A = this chain, B = another copy of it.
Amino acid sequence: MALIVMKFGGSSVADSERMERVAWIIAEKFTEGNDVVVVLSAQGDTTDILIEKANEINPNPSKREMDVLLSTGEQVSIALMAMTLEKIGLPVVSLTGWQIGLQTTTDYGSARVERIATERIKTELDRRRIVLIAGFQGINRYDDITTLGRGGSDTTAVSVAVTLNADLCQIYTDVEGIFTSDPRKVPTAFKLDEITYDEMLELASLGAQVLHNRSVEIAKRYGVNLEVLSSFERKPGTIVKEVTKVEHSKISGVARDTNIARIALMGLKDEPGIAFKVFRTLANASINVDIILQSIGRDDTKDISFTVALGDMAAAQSVLEENKESLGFTDLSVDDNIAKVSIVGAGMMTAPGVAAQMFEALYGAKINIDMISTSEIKISVLVEKKDAERAVSAIHAQFFGA
């Protein structure tokens, strides 16, 4: 008998038919004799509908009240799922964030989990009940409702798994697991049986948003056995863990992100602290910078190029222009006609020549590389947006075969 935490996302509980399918997955685990804790997201696009409703009333509502509003979505899910399980004849109890004492920081809209009181959950498990928990929500020290931000239900699930010392944390979603690349774009992409936490973190940050990053970070820190699998097909998914078995390939995935823009500052003075000033200015405006490239310009000046999320491009441009004088650049150019293509793999640390293999694939496909950035387990290149899909296919074929 094991203690299993299962998490089902919004698409898995979107309507009563899907709820019933999920109920049978839960029922199976429970009747096998396991203790079962289930974390649920809001149904389908409930959260988006609530946000829209709020914005109609007030385009700039307080985050506190937004959290009061949004947290109802998950509460509806757990109640309806409880009723679905009751119909099957299973013992069940639904609990909200405050009922499990999920304490968070005070940051409404993007709170972090601080601790979870285990008493209530354990009491209910001892009574042999399936425990349904509303994901995404908690309370802060003022006894106000908080939410954990997008994808927060993953974080709830992993945090509950850590607190209860669960044997396994299963994240059920609408895909079968983690793929070597987007299977809708790369027909030869295949599902990985295993992946390391670090690879998962890099992949998530590259736009392969299957698992919420913070949940993977917590899972890594506490060594939670994570499994990503489909709620629609009964197949094994992908296990996320510290070390995977012998690598079949040097890399575990190829991803692309077209949701980026590049900004270049030219003619910066070549003096200490210039890069600091530029990126502090952006940080103060809450703009995250990804790839950074610094090069020597003409006449003893420097050029700095960097990428930001497409949605931040306009804000970044305007805050930099505002500070043109103090930063001391001569020209600023922006380019949103680019894409980032990356390979990720813990294996590349010990396998030389992975970068060369990647560049070879791009050369073979006659694709120009604009910028390059590397980490221990990731290599990213910027290419023209139109070349992104071909680049992914070429690289995937290079490492995994066509």
| C-alpha gap A83/B68 in the complex (Å) | 11
**Minimum CB distance partner of A143 in chain B:** B99
A83 and B98: CB pair below 8 A? no
Q: Are A80 and B69 in contact (CB under 8 A)?
A: yes
Copies of this chain present = 2
Could you tell me which residues of chain A, from 244 to 289, have a CB within 8 Å of some CB in chain B?
Answer: none
> Is A45's CB within 8 Å of the partner chain B?
no
Other-chain residue from B54, B64, B94 in contact with A65 (beta carbon distance below 8 A): B94
- Size category of the A interface is 35 or more
Per-residue contact bits, chain A 33-71, to B (CB 8 Å; 1 contact, 0 not): 000000000000000001001101110011011101101
- The answer on a CB contact under 8 Å between A80 and B99 is no
A72 contacts chain B at the CB level, 8 A cutoff:
yes
Say yes or no: A83-B61 contact (C-beta < 8 A), given A68-B78, A72-B72, A143-B120: yes
In the docked arrangement, what's the CA distance between A188 and B50, Å?
45
Bound: A76/B42 CA distance, A: 14
Contacts A68-B94, A98-B98; A57 near B75 (Cβ below 8 A): no
Q: Are B56 and A82 in contact (CB under 8 A)?
A: no
Instruction: List chain B residues, Cβ under 8 A from A144.
Output: 99
Q: Which residues of B contact A57 (CB under 8 A)?
A: 16, 19-20, 80, 83-84, 87
A94 nearest CB across to chain B (Å): 5
Question: Does A327 have its Cβ within 8 Å of any Cβ on chain B?
Answer: no
Hey, what's the 0/1 contact readout for A142-157 against B, CB within 8 Å counting as 1?
0111000000000000
The 3 closest A-B pairs by CB, nearest first: A69-B79, A72-B72, A61-B83
B58 touches A84 (CB 8 A): yes
Give, as a whole number of angstroms, the nearest-CB distance from A17 to chain B: 10
Interface members, chain A 227-247 (any B CB < 8 Å): none
Whether, in the assembled complex, A86 has its beta carbon less than 8 Å from a beta carbon of chain B, the answer is yes
CB distance from A282 to the nearest CB of B (A): 30
A120 closest partner in B (C-beta) = B143
Task: With CB as the reference atom, state the residue of chain B lying closest to A93.
Answer: B64
Give 19 A-B contacts (CB < 8 Å), ordered by A residue: A16-B53, A16-B56, A20-B57, A53-B80, A54-B80, A54-B83, A57-B83, A58-B84, A58-B87, A61-B82, A61-B86, A62-B83, A64-B93, A65-B94, A69-B75, A69-B79, A72-B72, A75-B75, A120-B143
* A75–chain B nearest beta-carbon distance, Å: 5
In the complex formed, the residue of B with least CB distance to A73 is: B72
Beyond known contacts A16-B57, A68-B79: 4 more, CB 8 A cutoff: A57-B83, A62-B82, A62-B86, A64-B93
B62 and A68 contact, CB distance less than 8 A: no
Which residues of the other chain, B, contact A92 by a CB distance below 8 angstroms? 65
A50 to chain B, nearest CB (A): 8
Q: A93-112: which have CB < 8 Å to B?
A: 93-94, 96, 98-99
Q: How far is the CA of A123 from the CA of B58 in the complex (A)?
A: 26
Q: Which residues of B contact A66 (CB under 8 A)?
A: 79, 83
Chain B residues in 8 Å Cβ range of A78: 68
Contact indicator B83/A58 (Cβ below 8 Å): yes
A50 CA / B80 CA spacing, docked (Å): 10
* Contact between A86 and B65, CB atoms less than 8 A apart: yes
Query: Contact mask A1-41 → B, CB, 8 Å, 1/0?
Result: 00000000000000010011000000000000000000000
Q: Cβ of A86: which chain B residues have Cβ within 8 Å of it?
A: 58, 61-62, 65
A87 to B75, CA, bound (A): 27
Residues of B within 8 A of A84 (CB): 57-58
Q: Measured between alpha carbons, how far is A112 from B99 in the docked complex, in Å?
A: 21
The smallest beta-carbon distance between A142 and chain B, in angstroms, is 9
